[in-house]
Structure 1
């Protein structure tokens, strides 16, 4: 990956902390949000709309689908603490 190619992030979950993670990603010159997922497609779509996602962003209705996307470099897991281990291990 060249220095000019942005790091593509995926976010699992759309809790309030996800908005803060999104804020940081969108301000990093070498990063872009590429995928977001939530257990409900309606809530994931609402999160995307509320945060002005571009039409090129992918929106998934399951955390597994987010993890399965082959075009992403890294992941953020802003889920409740009780879910961190499960989804971090699955992401690896």
Structure 2
């Protein structure tokens, strides 16, 4: 799948795919923002949104993106800690 993604670089199909991904991301961002500001508990809603993000990203992380180099693991772990603290 990585080869297919790289083959799209600089092509009309790649531009079209990028445009569709941006539009879908904007719509999902608006929907999740509306859900969080709805009548339900915002913390519970945010937790459900974060879990759904995680579940959607697992196949991409496992099968598309290459594993990071060993020297990047501490940086990724630090970024994860900062992100968790920010979410609190």
Higher relative helix content: 2
Q: Which has the larger radius of gyration?
A: 2
TM-score (norm 2): 0.25
TM normalised by structure 1 equals 0.24
